[in-house]
Amino acid sequence: MGIMEKMRLDGKKIFVTGGARGIGKSIAYAVAEAGADVAIVDIDIEEAKKTAQRIAEDTGRRTIAVKADVTNPQEVDEMIETILEQFDRIDAAFCNAGICINAPAEEMTFEQWKKVIDINLTGVFLTAQAAGKVMIRQGGGSIINTASMSAHIVNVPQPQCAYNASKAGVIQLTKSLAVEWAMKGVRVNCISPGYIGTDLIMNSPSLKPLIEKWEEMSPLHRLGKPEELQAIAVYLAGDASQFTTGSDFVIDGAFTCI
């Protein structure tokens, strides 16, 4: 099999959490364009349905929308059951759902801290655990978690200690699962995006001063585009990355190099 064939995802069944918009939506598009059937998982089911419909129309792949709160173990289990009912198997899982709350550490409430950790770290564990159980039973699969360059540096000028800590946890969780499941056929990797210009970020007036600061600090003097994460997502989901597990891929325009 040639390299281009290995980069195809024909026949694979994949789910993406936080897939209704932003990075998750871009990744869902990419794997569908590469031939996979995709489940768009999101707590906002109406937006998930819209995204699923657009992807299906544009790619011709079977695309479904599934509602789930990734912090709720029961909902995660029900999500997996729904996907298996529709797809029979799960070949790759993108544990991508996440949020960021900017608050000075001395002012951050326990509720704010807990919400970020619950979604960004516990949510990744619950979805990866549920997908891993299925993949172990079926003889293999690939899990890709969304970490962040914020796991490697402290972002400025915005205060976001909970977010940074949660994403650092995602990287270590990824490595731990990769070692535990290496001989069970399940690969686990993560991507660490830099500042990505999603619609939510670019259309937020309150973030404009921050965006200007980020672009000034970046060696490339711009934010990344969601589609610039697509190639690594397709690579990790497919057969070309069989020897790749326990890795963190930093895609940040060299931001963490300075």
Residues annotated as catalytic are 148, 163, 167
Compute the distance between CA of residue 45 and CA of residue 59 in angstroms, rounded to an integer.
21
Of 25, 140, 28, 26, residue with least CA distance to 89: 140
Strand ranges inside 54-185, DSSP E: 63-67, 92-95, 141-146
| Cβ pair 1, 27 in contact under 8 A | no
Number of Cβ atoms within 10 Å of the Cβ of 139: 10
Compute the distance between CA of residue 13 and CA of residue 10 in angstroms, rounded to an integer.
9
Compute the distance between CA of residue 47 and CA of residue 172 in angstroms, rounded to an integer.
31
Omega of the bond leading into 193 within 30 degrees of 0 (cis) = no
